[in-house]
Structure 1
Amino acid sequence: METLKNKREMFYPHVSVDCVLLGTNEDKLCVLLVERQVAGSNEKHYKLPGSLIYESEDLDTAAYRVLNEATGLKRVALKQFRSFGSPARTKNKEDVQWLENASKMKITRIVTVAYLALCKFGKKMTMGEMSDTLIWAPVNELPHLPFDHKEIVEAAGEEIRRWVDVEPGIVFDYLPSKFTAYQLRRIFEIIYNKTIDVRNFHKKMTAMEYVVQTDEVETGVNHRAARYYRFDKVKYNKLHSKFNKI
C-alpha cells in the first residue's frame, strides 16, 4: 500500500495547480479559500486550494484532486485559464519554508497553472472537520494570501467577465430557477463590479429572448411585488448555437 511519505516523494517541485472557485454571497463576488496551517502562529492563514503536482499525473487530474481534497466537490467544471511563472512567486521566504515543510522537498522556482470554476454559494462542501477550514472571502476584501494568490484571484475576476461577455448564460448558474429583474441585474453588477442603469438594463433584459416572464410575483414583501422570470435554456442554446452562426 502506498504511504503518504511515498506520495510526497512523487511530488514534482517545479509545477503546481491552483483552483479559483468564484461564487456570490451577500451581494459580493467571493472566492473560496482554504486554511493554511502556519507553525508557531495563532492567527488563521488562508490560501487558494492548490498543490504541487505528482510526477504521475497530468494538470487536469491534479486540479480535480486538489479541489476534491480541499472541498469534497467532484462535479465542478474546472477550466484552465492562465499560468503564473514569475520568479518572484517564491521571493517570500516564509511562504517557501511553509511549502517545503508541507511537501518535504526543496523548493526553488514554481510555475502554477490556475483553474477557474463558478460555484453557487451554499453548494455542499465536505462535512466534518474540513468544513471549518473553508471560507468564502469577498474578492475586494481578501485576507493576506501567500505567493501570488491575490494576483491569481484578480486575474480570475477579469477572466469571468470575459466568459460572460462571450457566454452570458453563465450568470444564470448564480440564480434560483425563478428570479426577479433586480436579482438578474445585481448578478451582472456583482460580476462586473459596477452599477448598471436600471432603465438601460430592462431594455437589454427585454431583448434577451431566453429570459421568460412568468405569471408569478413576489409574495410577503413590504414593497411592490416584482414579477418573476425564468431562464429558458433550450431557447438560449438555439440562439447561441455555433451552427446558427456559420
Structure 2
Amino acid sequence: MQNMEHKTPLANNHISVDCVVIGFDGEQLKVLLIKRVGEEQGEIFHDMKLPGSLIYMDEDLDEAAQRVLNELTGLKNVNLMQFKAFGSKNRTKDPKDIHWLERAMQSRVERIVTIAYLSLVKIDRALSRNLADFEAYWVALQDIKALAFDHNLIIKEALVYIRQYVEINPSALFDLLPRKFTASQLRTLYELIYSKPIDVRNFHKKIAMMEYVVPLEEKQQGVAHRAARYYRFDKKIYNKVRR
C-alpha cells in the first residue's frame, strides 16, 4: 500500500523529503525500505527505496517527512531530525526513476533536491505491526541492494551522521535498544555503528564508567549460554552527569 495520491498542489517539483529510519534488532542494524513498482520500456520492474515524496503547498518540511512515514509505512509520531540536503545534478539521471516519480506524483519532474531526515527506533512488534500492509520492510544494512535515486548514498551519509551525533549525544544509542538490554547487545550496537570490533573486557570497563547504564538484578532466562545480566538506561542520571 503506497498512497501517493494527493489533492493539495505540490509546493515545488524540485524539492522532496526522504526518511532514513534505522533500527536495531539485537544483532543487526536495519533500514526501513519500501517496495517500488514501475514500468520501463514496457517491462515491469521492482526495487526498493527510502520512504520519500515531493512536498505539498500546505506543509513545511517537517510535516512532509511525518506525512511520508505515515502514508508509506503507517508509522506515526516518529522522532525525525534533518541531517543533510542532497542536490547532485545526477540524482535523477536514471530515466526509470523519473518516469516512476512522474506517474506517482502526476506531475512533471526534473532535477530534485531532497532534504534527508533520520530516525533511530526500537524494532519491536508494536512498531512493525502493519509494515507488511504498506509493503515496507526492515532490511539489514549488509543486505541492501541498489536502491532508487541516490538512496544508497543517503543511507551511507546517515551512518556518518549517526557516528558524529552519538559522540555529542551518547543517549541517542539507547533509542535503538529495548528497555532492558545486555552488555553484549550494547557492545554489538557500538561495533555496528563504528564498523570495528571492540574488546569485551575493555567494553565492560567502559560500561562501568557510564553512570547512566544501570545494572539490574534480573538476568536472561531460557538461554543455552550463561545467562547475562540486564541493564537499563537512566535518563535522569544521564541528564545530571551531562550538565
**TM-score relative to the length of structure 2:** 0.89
Shift of 1:43: 5.1
Distance 1:177 1:25 in 2: 13
- Which of residues 118, 123, 127 in structure 2 aligns to 1:124? 127
Shift of 1:190: 1.9
Shift of 1:13: 0.5
Q: Is the 8 A contact 1:139 1:153 kept in 2?
A: no
Q: Is the 8 A contact 2:91 2:150 kept in 1?
A: yes
Q: Once superposed, what is the RMSD of the aligned Cα atoms?
A: 2.0
| 1:235 to 2:237 alignment | yes
Partner of 1:38: 38
Q: Is the 8 A contact 2:24 2:177 kept in 1?
A: no
Shift of 1:15: 0.3
| Aligned ranges 1:201-212 → 2 under 5 Å | 201-212=203-214
Partner of 1:244: none
Distance 2:11 2:230 in 1: 51
Distance 2:60 2:163 in 1: 28
| 1:113 to 2:109 alignment | no
| Aligned ranges 1:184-223 → 2 under 5 Å | 184-223=186-225
Shift of 1:53: 0.7
Q: SS of the counterpart of 1:16? A: strand
**TM-score relative to the length of structure 1:** 0.88
Does the C-alpha gap of structure 1 residues 5 and 206 become closer, same or farther in structure 2, counting only changes over 3 Å?
closer
Distance 1:26 1:221 in 2: 15
Does the C-alpha gap of structure 1 residues 140 and 93 become closer, same or farther in structure 2, counting only changes over 3 Å?
same
Distance 1:103 1:229 in 2: 47
Calculate percent identity across the aligned residue pairs.
50
Q: SS of the counterpart of 1:204? A: helix
Q: SS of the counterpart of 2:153? A: helix
Distance 1:119 1:44 in 2: 27
Larger Rg: 1
Q: Which runs of 5+ in 1 are unaligned?
A: 242-246
Shift of 1:217: 2.4
What code does the residue aligned with 1:10 have?
L
Shift of 1:101: 1.4
| Aligned ranges 1:132-211 → 2 under 5 Å | 133-211=135-213
Distance 2:106 2:11 in 1: 9
Does the C-alpha gap of structure 1 residues 42 and 26 become closer, same or farther in structure 2, counting only changes over 3 Å?
farther
Does the C-alpha gap of structure 1 residues 237 and 83 become closer, same or farther in structure 2, counting only changes over 3 Å?
same
Deviates more, 1:83-92 or 1:24-33: 24-33
Distance 1:141 1:128 in 2: 18
What code does the residue aligned with 2:116 have?
A
Q: Which runs of 5+ in 2 are unaligned?
A: none
Distance 1:176 1:198 in 2: 21
Does the C-alpha gap of structure 1 residues 110 and 75 become closer, same or farther in structure 2, counting only changes over 3 Å?
same
Deviates more, 1:192-201 or 1:211-220: 211-220
What code does the residue aligned with 1:22 have?
I
Distance 1:184 1:128 in 2: 26
